[in-house]
Amino acid sequence: MKVGLFVLCALAAAVAASAVGAQSPSRGDSTHADSARKRMTSLNQVIITATRTEKDVFDTPSAVSVIDSATLGRRLPNTPVDAFRDLPGLDITGVGTNQTRPTIRGLGGQRILLLEDGLRLNNSRRQQDFGELPAIAGISGIDRVDVVRGPASVLYGTDAIGGVVNIITAGLPSVSDGVHGWAGYRYSTADQQQTPSAGLEGRFGRFAFRASGAYRDTKEYDAPSGRFGDIAFNDDVKVNDTGVRDYSYNALAGWDLGKSQTIWAKGERYTARDAGFGYVTNADLGATDAPTIQITYPDQDVQRYSLGWRAMSLRSAVADRVEVTTYLQDNTRHLDLDVFVPFGSGLPPTAGVTSHGRNWTDMRTLGFRAEATKLVGARTLLTYGADAFQDRSDNTDSSLTIVTGFGPPQVEASTRPQVPNASFRSAGVFAQGDVRLADRVSVIIGGRYQDVLAKTRSTPGIADPLSESKDRTAVGAANLLVRAMTGLNLIASVGRGFRSPNLVERFFEGPTPEGSGYQARNPSLDPETSLNVDLGARWRQGVFFAEGFVFQNDVHDGIAIAATGDTINELPVYQNVNVDKLRFRGLELTAGARALSRFDLSANFSRIESKNVTDPNSPVGDTYSRKFVFDAAWHPIANRLSFGYALRHNGEQKDVIAGTSPVGDVLPAFTVHDVRMEAALIDRGRNRTSLVVRVNNLTNELYAEFANASFFRPEPRRNVSTAIVVGF
C-alpha cells in the first residue's frame, strides 16, 4: 500500500520536493504519471531490497513495504521511520525530532538491520533495545525507504532477524540536461521547527553529480491535556529533551567509464546537538516519589565516505552485473545519564541517590560489499557475493554518585569504562537463485555463511583479562510465488535468520541506566536464531488492490536480561542470558481502490501477538496488539491540488508487565486523525513551486505510542506543518 514515506527528517522541504514533483531531472515529466499510477495501487511500486534485483512489489515473494517519493510530501515525517505508524506490521519507538527508531512485527532495536543504499548503519555499541538512529542517514536527498517485514539474513547477515529498513538516497541524473535544483523551507507549530534545505544536480556528458543539505532547529514540544489510562493532565505538559539542532549534507559524483560501467564517490555528514530521550517531570505525572531519569545526547557526529563501481550488461561467463562498494564511517557520540532515586516518604524530597554518568564513544567502521548477478539459461537468475565490516569502538566513561539525606553527602566517583575498547568483525558469503519453475511458478532459494568475532582491547581503567567471542552461523531461506490467475499471486516463504550479540550485550559491566541494578558481562552469549514462516496473497484488478499475510517468527536463544541472585554494592545483579524461545505471530491486511477517477481510498489492519514461550508469564510485547489505518485522498485538479484525511486506531494492549507503567496494567486504545493539503502553485517544466500543509492529531488527543508508555513519553499536541519547495 502507498502509505507514509520517508522523512525528510523534519525537512518538509525536501519532502515536498520529492512528493509534489520537484524531483531529479532524470525523472523528467514522467513524475506526474508515475505518481498517479502509484496512487492507484501500491503494488506497482518497485523494490530492490528484498531480492537485490528490481521487482514489482506485486511479484516479490515476501512481505515488503515501499515508502516512495510520491508519499514524501503527504506525510512530512521527521525521520524515515515516523511514517511506519501508518504501515501494516510496522511501528516506532522513541519520541522527539530525531530519536525515533523502527519496530517490525514486534521486533526492534538491534534485531532490525538499518541500511543506507544497501550498506549497514547498525552500531554494535548500542544497547539491544536501541538500534542506530535512522536520522543519521540525513534529512535531505532521500528518495525512498524499502522495508522487508521478516528476516533477511541470507542477503544481509547479522541483525536482520526481524527485518530490514533500507534508506535509499537519490541517484545520479542519467540525462545531460544542465544544472537543476530545488530550495525549500518547513515550519511546524508543535516544536517550532524551522528547516531550510536545498539541492543541486546535473550531468555533463560522462560526469554527473548531486548534492543536498539541510539545517533543522526544533524546540521541546508540548503534549495536550487529557487522560491516558491512569495519567491525567489538566493542562498542556512539556515533554522535555525532545528538540534538536541538526544538519546534514551529502555530495555524490560519478563518471561513466562506458555505456555500462560507472564509478562513483559519495561523502556525507550528519551532526546533531542537544537531543534527548524525552521525559515528563514527576511533578506533572503526580509521582513525586518515583525516580527521575534524564538521558541526553549533547552531540553526535557521523561522517561516511563510500566508493563504488557498477557494471551492467557484462554478459561474461560469470556475471551480467557486478557492483562493488567500500565505505568508511566514523560515528562519535556523547551520552549523559542523570538519575535521582528518592529514599521515599518520611524523608526530605532531596534525600536520595543522585547519579551522573557520562559516556563518549567513537565507533569507526570499515566495510565492503561485492555482489554479482548472472542469468543462467532462460529460467534462473543467480545473485551471489560477499560482504564484511569491522566496528572498532573506543569508549570513555565517568560516573559520580552522591548520597544525601544522612549527614554530609557521600560522594563516589569512577572513571572505569562500562564497555572496554573492543572490535566487532563480521564477514560472510551468500548466494541466491531466482528460478522460474514454470510459467506461473517461481521460487527463490538462498543461503549464507557468516563468521563473527567480537573481542576486547587493552583499556585504561579496566584490569579484566582480554576476551573474545566467535560465532559461525549458516542460514537459508526459500520463497515461493504462484501466479494462481491473472491478478492473483500466492506467496509462501520460510527462512532462518540470526543475530550475533553485540559489544554491549557481551561486555557491558556496571550500574544499569535507571540506577536500580548492576549489569554483569557475559562474553559467552550464543547468537540468536529465528525460524520465520509467511503465507500471503496479493490481488489487483483495475483500480482495486489487496494484500494479506500471516506470519510466525520464532526466535531461539533470544537474549534477555535476567537476575543472577547476587548483589554488588547493595544492587541486585543482572546479566544478559539466552532464553529458549520468543514467539511473534500476526496478521497484516491491506486494501485500496481509486473511485470516480478522483478519489483514492486505502486501509490496512495489523494484529501482533508476542510471548516468551519459555516463560509465558513474562510479557515481551512492546507494540500495539492491533492497528487499523484508513486513508482517503481527493484530487480535484489532477497533479495540481489534492486533499487528504488519515485515521489510525491502536487497540488496547494488555501484554505489559503489571506495575511497571504509570499508565496502568492495560495500555488504552487511542485514535488519531490527520488532514493534509498539497498544491502545485507553479508548474512549468522544471520551474515548479509546491506547497504542503498537514495537521497532525487534529482532535488534540493525549496518547503515547505503546513502546513509549512504560517510560511515559506522550506525542505532541495538535501540530500544523507546512512546507514550500521551489524547483528550477
Query: H helices then E strands: how many in the chain?
Result: 6, 41
Residue with cell 550479540: 501
3-state class of 281 per DSSP? coil
For 7-18, what is each residue's pLDDT tens digit? 223 323 333 333
DSSP letter string over 621-663?
A: --S-SEEEEEEEEEEEETTTEEEEEEEEEE--B--S-TTS-TT
The per-residue pLDDT for 516 is 67
Closest by alpha carbon to 136, among 302, 278, 252? 302
Cβ atoms of residues 386 and 427 within 8 Å: yes
Find, among 239, 510, 253, the residue nearest to 358 by Cα: 510
Taking the whole predicted model, whether its pTM rises above 0.95 is answered as no
C-alpha to C-alpha distances, 314 to 93, 261, 310, 376, nearest whole angstrom: 44, 9, 10, 14
The dihedral through the CA atoms of 547, 553, 559, 560 has a sign that is positive
Backbone angles phi, psi at 82, to 5 degrees: -60, -30
What does the DSSP assignment read for 213-274? EEEEEE-PEEEPSEEETTEEESS-EEEBT--EEEEEEEEEEEEESSSSEEEEEEEEEEEEEE
CA separation for the pair 383, 711 (Å, rounded) = 44
Nearest residue to 363 via CA among 331, 396, 397, 388 = 331
* Residue 407: count of CB within 10 angstroms of its CB: 7
Distance CA 164, CA 445 (A): 18
Residues present in the chain in total? 728
Among the listed residues 262, 274, 163, 280, the one whose alpha carbon sits nearest the alpha carbon of residue 224 = 280
Kindly state the greatest CA–CA separation across the chain: 84
At position 339, the amino acid (one-letter code) is V
- Of 61, 58, 32, which is closest to residue 45 (Cα–Cα)? 58
- Residue that has been written with the C-alpha cell 500543509 in this structure: 693
| Contact between residue 471 and residue 488 where contact means Cβ atoms under 8 Å apart | no
Indicate left, alpha or beta for 70 from its phi (over 0: left) and psi (-120 to 50: alpha). Answer: alpha
SS3 111: helix
Distance CA 299, CA 83 (A): 25
How confident is the model at residue 514, as a pLDDT?
A: 59
**Calpha distance 239→280 (Å, rounded):** 5
Using CB atoms within 10 Å of the CB of residue 613, give its burial: 0 to 12 exposed, 13 to 18 middle, 19+ buried: middle
Contact 151, 125 (CB under 8 A): no
Rounded Cα distance between 714 and 229, Å, is 12
- Name the grid cell of 678: 498539497
pLDDT below 50 — which residues of the chain? Answer: 1-40
Instruction: Quote the cell numbers at residue 2.
Output: 502507498
Query: Would you say 13 and 186 are in contact if contact means Cβ atoms under 8 Å apart?
Result: yes
Extract the C-alpha cell encoding 420.
572496554
Residue 491 phi, psi (nearest 5)? -135, 140
CB 77 within 8 A of CB 6: yes
Q: Find, among 389, 461, 469, 453, the residue nearest to 420 by Cα.
A: 461
The domain 12-727 belongs to what CATH superfamily? TonB-dependent receptor, beta-barrel domain (2.40.170.20)
41, 592 Cβ separation under 8 angstroms: yes
Return the H-helix or E-strand segment holding 35. helix 30-40
394 forms beta bridges with 362
